[in-house]
Amino acid sequence: MNITLNGTPHAVVDSASISMLVSQVTGRVLAANGQAADGARLGVAVAQNAQVVPRSQWSATALADGDDVELVTAVQGG
């Protein structure tokens, strides 16, 4: 199925979870609680259709075809 990730079309396997998406994009292995498995800070957040999804719910939250997902992190600013 297809979603929009950070404004561009992105293909994910059917019934993929947010956890799978974050892991795929960042290349980090995630624990079930949404923290990085290597113990270092992950530093990213996800909004699904303009709603923030807490990392503790990433693995239990499924993506749906046509979802609009924003994946953000800290950059230089201010």
Partner 1 sequence: MTNTNTEQLNQAGGTGSDDLVIDGVALASRLIMGTGGAPSLDGLGAALIASGTALTTVAMRRYSTAETGSLFQLLVDHGIRVLPNTAGCFTARDAVLTAELAREALETDWVKLEVIADEHTLLPDAVELVDATEQLVNRGFKVFAYTNDDPVLALRLENLGAAAVMPLGSPIGTGLGILNPHNIELIVSRASVPVVLDAGIGTASDAALAMELGCDAVLLATAVTRAQNPVLMGEAFKHAVKAGRMAAAAGRIPRREHALASSAMAGRAEFL
Residue numbers of the site for partner 1 (CB under 8 A)? 6-7, 25-27, 40-47, 50, 52, 54-55, 70-78
Within 10 angstroms of residue 7's Cβ, the number of other Cβ atoms is 9
CB of 13 to partner 1, least distance (A): 19
Question: Dihedral of CA 18/47/1/38: which sign?
Answer: negative
Cβ nearer to partner 1, comparing 8 with 14: 8
Cβ nearer to partner 1, comparing 9 with 78: 78
d(C-alpha 34, C-alpha 11), whole Å: 21
